Structure 1
């Protein structure tokens, strides 16, 4: 056991599930909560990558770490690997492109910032983009990929913006190994090299991961497999990150063709064979679930994993005028409900409902305190999580829920296509406004498990949607 492994276990412990750092996982064990949280994330779920699309926004050009396997290239349409983009975007351009892609690809479930540098080394550009996305596309999941050097001081902002999936590239937990992978790191205004820089990076990654776990953020670890450098070490990485509570380990083969211009590529470091990748994943799989469907995407990738439609959405090709996103979102929800429920949401008796829940297990949140609603489809085939919609918090305290008509109007607009809204409590004013909009408020199942409650409610409903809407409006 290396010193760094011992430090990680001292910080988080090899305890059972439920400890402060997120617990441990067997090599194949995903909890129900974790599985639901990643069900629509093609980069996290092996069953989602052929159903849902992702988008990377290239707004982060600078990097605070120089890896031997990386060479960032801009205005490049001919290479498909991390760090490569055709267009660098400012915040306004990123939002314009995101809305156009969401309208054109209803299966789009996730927008991430992954470069071409490090998102957290570009704090203003990254967080302004994330804030704009959260407001403009309330139904889209947001995620970030980072080397972790600036992660500890960024966690609070990520959580506040609703980012609940973070990928950290961690190639080693031993500074002796790590020193052979990086040329330098730039930390607190100083450039560090060798084992000193490697140790700072590892310490920051550990601290950042610990803070993410405390805030309930799912963490995937990416590691680049470099033959002769960290190939024998990656199982130890898997063992250590399991004890910290990471969700998934993605071991990717080194890309080091000379024409890419990386340090490794120019100095003869070979790429691993497919057999070597399989062997390392098998060894690491004894400790952590392993991701095998990664496509090592460009920093501006668009579409399903395994396809890249980024050239269809260059800035010059975007429509001058964009659709109202409320209508786009409703259409996207219907498409994603059909995908998630294998078509059951198209049944005449199916219902779409919103649930105010803190952790996604029980109906435990006041309507006015919710910052996001989980969207479910209910039919004779069962209860299916469709996605989420983020809203502005209506109540600013335990009692301050008055005089926020603008916030309530926005929330009603976001929930207008729902058949019902479930929450633990609801004031008279919002109740009446929901009913007037044709949305049934439901508080009868407060503090009950979501799936059981939704099933019980659905069984009591008229099986004709027209009758339901008349009933909600008080006509029948």
Structure 2
């Protein structure tokens, strides 16, 4: 059956509601279930139904769907050496930072406004800026109100785990079926190097005793969530020289206790952020050190590699933050939820995802059939939709894929501090920071790139091409790999 031709490019621009509704009602899919062809063969249908539109729990979904965090929980019960919470900061992109704290009522206005304006929105999370399970009255009040107004939105919560066992029954009753726990150690001696103190049962604990209590509460909370069928994602911060190798043991522990995903993130330790680690010179890992650890963890708990270490008030697709469009001074005093944009968007994406999965499977098969032993690390400039669809000079990050004997796998992302093109001009100093971020990458795919930056990248040992602009990412990588290592290329070289 012929469908209206609306490109995914248009879906990430301001939405034309009439066009979306026309596409959604012109035959074909009656609900987003037509995207079920994207379900991995080794995943149970009920689990897929819970994660298929969740950008943090599904790498495939993060190309299409957005998350939103509301900063309603400022109080925290532990101190981390990598954390410095800031409540009035618009310039830093890291956990614990927000532009403004919200009351549950203010959060309600903001969520409804965003849901009306950002059709990609599928998930609402509370990730602080303190601890959502410790500052529980505000977290619970916010979720209760939102679930009544927008019943189809998924609810998520992030926690350090200390207060988690006390909240599991409430979370189950509220149908919160995605919980993230930050677990950086299972050895209290290592934990004492990460956590100066905790506050538990109206008492402050320090050192190894504090880390032991935290460890025991984290494991108990994880086991309780697993027993209730709640999906858990474990966040771990990779701190070179402290817990980097220890995270292999953490991975084993959380897998044994039923964790759904393990997300290993790099330590952010810029001294300007004012954290203990930042001020004492503790470095974060290089991109390749992080990749090597993640590779070593393969075969354990399933890894998440597409995390962006979001702010506690993030809005939008992973890798973007539209939070400054929805500050309190810009919100209407009264607003009514209109689901039409979100419903229309999901209909279009459901069809697109089926096409994308088919293209991905074909590309993976092409790479495997090439029978080459070589691996190719490829960085992609993308705005979403699973396509090579961003100008090199406008990229705030690059998504990195590895092609080789096992097929095509997503291995992470590389942030860049400043875009090469700002105001239409390129800066060599800025390109140096981009090149540094692309450590280990052999080829960059983008929608467009000028000859000057292409030549400078080549001089740094990185090839860049716009030959596959607007193709699916995996299709582009598959054809690139065939060009590099296929039979015809081999014969021509011989």
| TM-score normalised by structure 1 residue count | 0.65
**Residue 343 and residue 214 in structure 1: after superposition, are their counterparts in 2 closer, same or farther (change >3 A)?**
closer
Q: Deviation at 1:330? A: 4.1
**Given the alignment, which residue of 64, 75, 83 partners 1:51?**
64
| 8 Å contact kept, 1:236–1:284 | no
Establish whether residue 82 from structure 1 lines up as the match of residue 95 from structure 2.
yes
Q: Which runs of 5+ in 2 are unaligned?
A: 1-40, 355-494
Q: Deviation at 1:141? A: 0.3
The within-5 A match list for 1:170-209 is 170-209=183-222
SS of equivalent residue, structure 1 residue 230: coil
Q: Deviations over 1:170-205 (max 9, x none)?
A: 001111111111010000001111111101101111
Q: Deviation at 1:138? A: 0.6
The within-5 A match list for 1:419-430 is none
Aligned partner of 1:12 in structure 2 is: none
| 8 Å contact kept, 1:256–1:269 | yes
Aligned partner of 2:259 in structure 1 is: 246
The within-5 A match list for 1:33-432 is 33-323=46-336, 325=337, 328-342=338-352
| 8 Å contact kept, 2:109–2:334 | no
Between the aligned partners of 2:123 and 2:313, the Cα distance in structure 1 is 13
SS of equivalent residue, structure 1 residue 74: coil
Between the aligned partners of 1:40 and 1:152, the Cα distance in structure 2 is 27
Q: Deviation at 1:30? A: 4.1
Between the aligned partners of 1:214 and 1:289, the Cα distance in structure 2 is 19
Count of residues in correspondence between the two structures: 315
Q: Deviation at 1:282? A: 1.1
Q: Deviation at 1:343? A: 8.1
Q: Deviation at 1:34? A: 2.3
SS of equivalent residue, structure 1 residue 182: coil
Q: Deviation at 1:319? A: 2.4
RMSD: 1.6
SS of equivalent residue, structure 2 residue 250: helix
**Residue 246 and residue 29 in structure 1: after superposition, are their counterparts in 2 closer, same or farther (change >3 A)?**
farther
Q: Deviations over 1:69-101 (max 9, x none)?
A: 000001100100000000100010000000000
Q: Deviation at 1:301? A: 0.2
SS of equivalent residue, structure 1 residue 229: coil
SS of equivalent residue, structure 1 residue 341: helix
SS of equivalent residue, structure 1 residue 109: strand
SS of equivalent residue, structure 1 residue 296: coil
Aligned partner of 1:440 in structure 2 is: none
SS of equivalent residue, structure 2 residue 61: coil
Q: Deviation at 1:307? A: 0.3
| 8 Å contact kept, 1:179–1:198 | yes
Q: Deviations over 1:84-142 (max 9, x none)?
A: 00010001000000000000011100000001000111011111111111111111000
Between the aligned partners of 2:353 and 2:311, the Cα distance in structure 1 is 32
| 8 Å contact kept, 1:74–1:87 | yes
| 8 Å contact kept, 2:67–2:317 | yes
SS of equivalent residue, structure 2 residue 133: helix
SS of equivalent residue, structure 1 residue 221: strand
**Residue 92 and residue 231 in structure 1: after superposition, are their counterparts in 2 closer, same or farther (change >3 A)?**
same
Aligned partner of 1:470 in structure 2 is: none
**4+ residue stretches of structure 1 with deviation over 4 A?**
none
Q: Deviations over 1:246-278 (max 9, x none)?
A: 011000000011010000011110111111101
Between the aligned partners of 1:337 and 1:178, the Cα distance in structure 2 is 46
